[in-house]
Amino acid sequence: ETGVTQTPRHLVMGMTNKKSLKCEQHLGHNAMYWYKQSAKKPLELMFVYNFKEQTENNSVPSRFSPECPNSSHLFLHLHTLQPEDSALYLCASSQGNRDTNTEAFFGQGTRLTVV
C-alpha cells in the first residue's frame, strides 16, 4: 500500500464510450501526475498538477481530459478513445515543493483496453 489508490484496476471500453479514471492520495502531497505505460516504451508523462494548477501537459490529445478538484484527488476523463490508447495508466503524487528534492509514489494503475 503506497498511499495512492487508483480505480478501477481494469477497464474495457468501446471507442464511443465515455469513462473516467480516479486517483486518490492519502500522503498529504500537493503534486499529482498521470503517466501512460505501454509495452516496450518508457513511462510517458501526460499531466502534472501542483497545488491544483496544471503545470505540465505533454501534448496529450484532447480525448484525454484531466481534472484536479483538490490536492488529494485526480481524475482522467476519457472519450472517443482509439485502440492505441490501450495501456496501463498510472497516477503518482509527490510533495510538490520545488525547493526540496522529492520522490513520487505511484498507485497500482488502471489497465485500460479500448475495443
Partner 1 sequence: EDQVTQSPEALRLQEGESSSLNCSYTVSGLRGLFWYRQDPGKGPEFLFTLYSAGEEKEKERLKATLTKKESFLHITAPKPEDSATYLCAVQAKNTDKLIFGTGTRLQVFP
CB of 23 to partner 1, least distance (A): 11
H/E element, 36? strand 31-37
Which lies closer to partner 1 via its Cβ, residue 77 or residue 98? 98
Going by C-alpha positions, the residue among 110, 102, 114, 95 that lies closest to residue 46 is 110
Say how far apart CA 11 and CA 81 lie, in whole Å. 13
CB of 105 to partner 1, least distance (A): 6
Say how far apart CA 21 and CA 13 lie, in whole Å. 12
* Interaction site with partner 1 (CB under 8 A): 2, 4, 6, 31, 33, 40-43, 45, 48, 50, 55-56, 88, 90, 92, 94, 96, 98, 101-109, 111
Going by C-alpha positions, the residue among 100, 85, 99 that lies closest to residue 36 is 85
CB of 77 to partner 1, least distance (A): 21
Q: Which residue has the cell 496544471?
A: 54
| Cβ–Cβ < 8 Å for 8, 20 | no
Which lies closer to partner 1 via its Cβ, residue 71 or residue 94? 94
Which lies closer to partner 1 via its Cβ, residue 93 or residue 114? 93
CB of 109 to partner 1, least distance (A): 5
Which lies closer to partner 1 via its Cβ, residue 35 or residue 64? 35
